[in-house]
Structure 1
Amino acid sequence: MRPNRPQTLTVLLTTQAVVTTGLMTLVPILPLYLQAMPGTHGTDWSSVALAAPAVGALAVAPFTGIWCDRVGHRPVLLVSLVVFTVSVLILATSQHVAGFIVGRVLQGASAIGVMLTACIGHVSAPASRNWAFGLQESAVAAGALLGPVLGGVLQDVWSPRPMLFAVAALNALLTLALSTLLRDMPAHTAPVPSTGKRRPIRDVLMLRRWLAAACLSQAGAFALVNVFVLYLQQRAPHDALLASKAGTLHALGWLAAMFASPWWGARNDRVASGRHFLLAASGCAAAIALLPLATALWQIALLRVIHGALFAALALSVLAHCHRVLPAALHGTATGVARSAMTAGQLVGPLAVMVSLPLGGPNAALWVTAAMFAVSALLILPDRSPSFAPVHDAR
C-alpha cells in the first residue's frame, strides 16, 4: 500500500517550511546576536557559527541517501527530525557561544534537508518529481522569508529565543504526524540493473562538475548571508533598525524564490536543466556584483528580489540533472551526495568571507561572492555528464 501522497507531500512541505524557519531565524542576524554573548567578537564567531552545520552535515549527509535506499525512508527521516528538534532546543537555551556552536553542528548532523528532499522525491510521481522539488524550494523560501523577518524584529525589540522554542514544538508535532503517514512507505526502491558490483557514491561522483557547481553556488549564497548585514552596517552604522532591515531585505529575496521555485521545477520536468543553471548562476553573479554600486535602499531591494528569483533555480537544476542521468535506485544516494556538495559550500562561503573581509571590507566580500556564482556557471560548460541507461521507475 502506497502512502496517501497528496497528504504526505503536504505534511513534508509543511515540515520543510518549519525547519527552514528555525534555521533562518538567527542566520541573517548572527553577527548582532552573537555580539551579545560574553567574550565573543560577533564578526568572527558569526562566520564560525554559519559554517558549523556543514561540519556535522558533511560527516552524515553523504550516507543518509544510501541508508534510505537500503533500509527505507521512514526510520531515517524520523531520526533526522528528532536530532533537528534537539539541536533547536540547544540553540534556544545556549548562553555561551560554545553551546551555540554545538547546536549548530548538531543541526547539520541531522541531515534534515537531505532527508526531506529524499522523501519528497520518493512519494512524488516520476513525471512531476521536479515540480514537487519546486514546491519544496517554495517551502524553503517561505521559511526563509518568515524566519529573518521575525528574527530581526525580535532581535530589535526582545529576543529570538521564543521563536526557536516554537519551532521545536511544531517540529515535534510534525514528527508524530509523519511517523503515521509514512508507516506504509515501502522500504526499498527498485534495484539497479548491473552486470557487476555497483558502488553508489562512486557512480554519483561521476557528476563531479555538477557537484562542484552546486558547492560553489551554495558557497555564494552563504557568503552573501554572512556579509549582507555587515554591508548594510557599513552603509548606515548608526541605524537602530539594522537587524529588522537586514531581515526584511533577506525576506524579499526569499519571497521571490518562493514564487519562482514551482515555475523552475515545472520547467525542469520538460527541459534539460543545464541551461537553467547557467542562466540563473550568471544572473546571481551579476545581481551581487552590483550591490556595492547601489545608492538607494530600493535598489538593494530590487537586486535581492532578482537574486532570489534566479537562485531558486540552482539546487532544483542540480537535483533534476542527477535524477535524469542516474537510475531510480540511486536517487536517494544522489540526493545525499548532491546535498552534501551544497553543504560543503555552506562551509566554503563563510570561510571565504573571513578571508576577504579584512582585506577589502564588505564590498570585496560581495565581489568574491559574485565570483563564486560566476565560476559555478562556467563549471557546467560544456555539459558532458555521463548518463546511465534509462531505468523504469517501479514505483
Structure 2
Amino acid sequence: MDTSSPQAPAAPLPRISRRIAAIAESATLKVDSKAKALQAAGRPVISFAAGEPDFPTPPNIVEAASAAVLDPRNHRYTAAAGLPELREAIAEKTRRDSGLTVPASQVIVTNGGKQAVYEAFAAIVDDGDEVLMPAPYWTTYPEVVRLAGGIPVEVFAGADQDYRVTVEQLEAARTPRTKVLLFVSPSNPTGSVYTPDETRAIGEWALEHGIWVVADEIYQNLVYDGARAISIVEAVPALADTTILVNGVAKTYAMTGWRLGWMVAPADVTKAASNLQSHLSSNVSNISQRAAIAALTGPQDTVEEMRLAFDRRRTTIVRELSKIDGLVCPTPEGAFYVYPDVTGLLNREWGGVTPTTSLELADLILEQAEVAVVPGEAFGPSGYVRLSYALGDDALLEGVQRLQRLFA
C-alpha cells in the first residue's frame, strides 16, 4: 500500500513563451490599423501614421516582376542569401552610396528591412550585451534587441539638438557591457541627418572602444536641402570590420509591399546570419528579387520625382505645423517624417479634454480632428508626435489644417 503524501499538481506552464509575450505590438502599425478601421466605418480619417510612400512602384520595376513570374527559373528554391545578380547589384549600390567596397558574398537578401535588422542583432548580440540606442528610435529596434537577449540603452536627444546625440552622451552611457551602437541617419521617426563631422566623430568613438555599429541606411537616398547622409563606414573606413549595414528598396522605390531588404556585413557575420536565414525563411521571393534588380540597376528618374514630391510636402507640413502655438517642429533633412515637440499643447484643455501625455494627445487628435498621428511613447519619451508626409498633397494640407482648427 502506498502511504506517501500525494503530490500537488504542477503549475501549468505558460502557453506563450516569455520572450515572445514580452514583445510590444508595433505602435505605428497599431495606429495605422485603427485609422483604417475608422475609415472603413465611414469616418473621414486622414492618417499620418504609416511610413509608406503613396506612389505606385515605378513601371520598369513592375514590368521586370511581371516577366519574372513567367520564367520557370523563379518557380523554385534559390540560394538562401539571395540571387547572385541581386547581391552584385546591392554590392555596387553599397560602393556607390555608402562608400564601402565589398564582394557580393558579404550581402544577404532579406524579407524586408525588418528581417535584416533582426538578423543583424541576432548574429552579434548575446544575453546581457548592451546596445546603445539613440532616441527617438524606430519602434522595432528595442524589441529586436530584446529578442536577441540584449539590453537596449536609450540615449535621448530632444528637439533642441535636432534629435542628434553627441559623442559625450554616448560616452556617458557606455559601460563594460556595451557591445553595439545603433546608428540611423536619416532617422525614423525624426528625419534628422547627422553631419559628416558628427558621423565621423561618432564612428571614431565606436572604433576607439571596440563597439560594433549597426547602421540602418534605408532612408539614405531621401535627403533634402543639399544634405548628404554619409555612411559611417565612409566617414571612418576602419569600422568596416565591425559594422553591419541594413537597407532595402521599400522607401526609395515605393516597394513596401514587395518585402525586399538586405544586410551587408563582415564575412563571419554574413556566414552566421546566412545560416540563421536558411532555417528562418530560406530565400526571399524570387519575383521580388528580380524586381529589386530592376530597381537598383534601372533608370532612377522616377525615384527623383518622388524625392522632389516628398521635399515639397516637407516644406508644406513644416510651414503649416509651425503656425500652431505650442508646437515646435524642427525641419527634417531626410526621410519623410516630421517629429514636432508638443509639450506646449499638453496640460491644456482642448474640446473639454486635458491631455497630459502625447499618447493622450494623439487619442484626442484622432477623436476630435479625425487625424491619426503616432505618439512619442512609441519612439521614446512622451511629449512628441510623428507625422509621415508620405501621403497626397491635398490630404496632407487638409490634415494639418484640421490640427490648426483643433488647437486654435
TM-score (norm 2): 0.28
The higher radius of gyration belongs to 2
- Structure ranking higher in strand proportion: 2
TM-score (norm 1): 0.28
- Structure ranking higher in helix proportion: 1
Structure number with greater CO (CA < 8 Å, separation at least 6) is 1
